[in-house]
Amino acid sequence: YRALTFFFEGVPAPGESGDLAAALAQQQRPPPVSFHKAFREGRCAECHLDKKRFLKEAIPELCWQCHPRPTDEKPWRHAPARVGDCMACHVGHESASPYLLTTVGKSLCFSCHRDSHIEQLPPHAGEHLARCAECHHAHEGGTHPRDVSKPNADKTSGD
């Protein structure tokens, strides 16, 4: 036991059972940089009914109790925000990415959007490919599905 704990973290004490896969996954996971406030403060009952297993309410209604509901003012909105699929981009407790995102940069957007198509569009091509959120708002939209809703577009156009 002493030799194992010298070389490895997460080794269960003698007589205890352990989950090797969970211990290894914990070691390989990058440290979190963003936390859900209720989770960080141990206020599990704000979202969960019992022992952190069941949610009090369905998502997105649960999320909208504290977070602003995306407005319906514009005809084109990002699909996950439009249907209330918060967990398509966010995680519930803690994340190695800011804003509780599942990942960062274009890899998040390209998990749904085809990168080969987007990178062919002039503002996105080559060295000018920026992080999508620098120009496009993830929750709100515009009057057209490809509207640029943030003022940084000139930084990516190559001008």
pLDDT in tens, 33-57: 999 999 999 998 999 997 667 899 9
Centroid of chain to Cα 110: 13
The residue behind tokens 């080794």 is: 11
The one-character DSSP state at 95 is: E
3-state secondary structure of 127: helix
Q: What is the model's pLDDT at position 89? A: 92
pTM: 0.69
Count of residues making up the chain? 159
Beta bridge partners of 34: 95
Q: Is the dihedral of CA 103, 88, 47, 51 positive or negative?
A: negative
- Structural domain boundaries of the chain? 31-155
pLDDT in tens, 74-126: 777 788 888 889 999 999 999 999 999 999 877 888 888 876 677 777 666 55
Q: Which of 31, 30, 34, 4 is nearest to 16 (CA)?
A: 4
Long-range contacts of 154-158 (CB under 8 A, 24+ apart): 155/130, 156/123, 156/124, 156/128, 156/129, 156/130, 157/122, 157/123, 157/128, 158/122, 158/123, 158/125, 158/126, 158/128
Give strand ranges (E) for the chain: 34-35, 94-95
Is residue 44 within 8 Å of residue 52, measured between CB atoms?
Answer: yes
